[in-house]
Amino acid sequence: MTNPHVVPISDAQLALSALLVLISGGVAAFFRLGLLKSLLWGTVRCVVQLSLVGYALAWIFAVDRPELVVVIIGVMCAVAASTATRRTPNVQDFPVMIAFVSLAASTYLIMVIVSGVIIRAEPWYTARIVIPISGMILGNAVSGIALSIDRLYSEVRSRRDEVEAMLSLGATPWEAVQDCVREAIRSGMTPVINSIMVVGLVSLPGMMTGQILGGADPAEAARYQIVVMLMIAAASALGSMLLVGLSFRRLYTRDDALKPELSHSK
């Protein structure tokens, strides 16, 4: 049943929105940024991908089978892990599996808590609830874990002498890099914390805006957005902690010495 408060967007109106691309394209062309081709290709991909996702989600929501939901979220985690490991300029060839495990564990755990305990969806694995929740978690966690692992390696490189001195004094591999780990996790959590601090004052989040445009009561939309922001913060913290915890041993050789590639000059 169509919500009478929803303002529909026709195909013609959607086509008109393409005029907005002219603004971005005009800036790119005027300053010769070399981004015009990427902008046009990105616009085409955006339209095609979101249109296909819309139709796919309509079918998934209609089927609403738990095993299908688990597989879909797993695929989302795999894509997110692959994306995150490509956003680490200070780290080469980071294992996608470590990123996948960190993202999957944090996503599934937070998703179950939000859907089953906070929202109390019936059943808790309802596709219409858990897939959007997982998407929001992953969309933010990708940046968080990428920042964390990149910061971990950059911190170890900048503190190599300090870490090696601690190792020579009898510190364990974990103790030697503990300060670096702390900075890495802080780096992954900071963007989300900054977002929480300004939400509602500087920015009106996408989910809240979408609900209001969809006819929801603004106060109720705000409640959902509060849950979403806290959910994202928890997932980012957990994902960053897991990723750094699972990967810090990769900083060392089998003899518990820092790997040669972690030099100041890299």
**pLDDT (tens digit, 9 = 90+) per residue, 21-39?**
999 999 999 999 999 999 9
Lowest mean pLDDT, pick from 2-16, 70-84, 148-162? 2-16
How many structural domains is the chain composed of? 2
List the one residue out of 138, 108, 112, 137 whose CA is nearest residue 123: 112
C-alpha to C-alpha distance for 197 and 33, rounded to whole angstroms: 33
Using the predicted structure, report yes or no on whether residue 266 has a pLDDT greater than 70.
no
List the one residue out of 149, 143, 244, 247 whose CA is nearest residue 193: 143
* Residue range(s) defining the domain that contains residue 128: 64-251
**Terminal alpha carbon distance of the chain:** 59
pTM: 0.84
Q: Is 128 found in the same domain as 15?
A: no
Q: For position 1, what pLDDT does the model report?
A: 47
Q: Is 43 found in the same domain as 145?
A: no
- φ/ψ of residue 256, rounded to 5: 60, 35
CA distances from 94 to 91, 101, 114, 143 (A): 6, 13, 30, 15
Q: Is 35 found in the same domain as 150?
A: no
List the one residue out of 47, 243, 41 whose CA is nearest residue 151: 243
The whole-number average pLDDT for the span 105-128 is 93
Q: For position 73, what pLDDT does the model report?
A: 95
Residue 134 lies in a domain: yes
Last residue of a domain, one of 44, 63, 82: 63
Residue whose token pair is 């820092």: 258
The whole-number average pLDDT for the span 89-117 is 92
Q: Is 109 found in the same domain as 52?
A: no
C-alpha to C-alpha distance for 137 and 80, rounded to whole angstroms: 10
Lowest mean pLDDT, pick from 98-102, 123-127, 261-265? 261-265
Q: Is 32 found in the same domain as 145?
A: no
Lowest mean pLDDT, pick from 94-98, 129-133, 148-152, 213-217? 213-217
When the pLDDT of each residue in the chain is averaged and rounded to a whole number, the result is: 90
Query: What are all long-range contacts of 258-265, with beta carbons under 8 Å and residues at least 24 apart?
Result: 258/156, 258/160, 258/163, 258/164, 258/167, 261/92, 262/153, 262/156, 262/157, 262/160, 263/157, 263/160, 264/157, 264/158, 264/160
Q: Is 132 found in the same domain as 26?
A: no
Q: Is 112 found in the same domain as 36?
A: no
Confidence at 208, pLDDT banded by 50, 70, 90: confident
Using the predicted structure, report yes or no on whether residue 91 has a pLDDT greater than 50.
yes
Q: For position 256, what pLDDT does the model report?
A: 87
Q: Is 140 found in the same domain as 246?
A: yes
Q: 32: which residues sit within 8 A by CB, 6+ positions away?
A: none
Residue 265 lies in a domain: no
H-helix segments, the chain: 11-16, 19-30, 36-63, 66-85, 96-112, 127-158, 160-168, 173-176, 178-198, 206-213, 218-247
Q: Is 40 found in the same domain as 70?
A: no
Using the predicted structure, report yes or no on whether residue 224 has a pLDDT greater than 80.
yes
Residue 264 lies in a domain: no
Last residue of a domain, one of 63, 89, 106: 63
Residue 1 lies in a domain: no
Q: For position 3, what pLDDT does the model report?
A: 60
Q: Is 55 found in the same domain as 150?
A: no
Q: Is 52 found in the same domain as 80?
A: no
Q: For position 238, what pLDDT does the model report?
A: 96
C-alpha to C-alpha distance for 61 and 128, rounded to whole angstroms: 6
The whole-number average pLDDT for the span 164-192 is 94
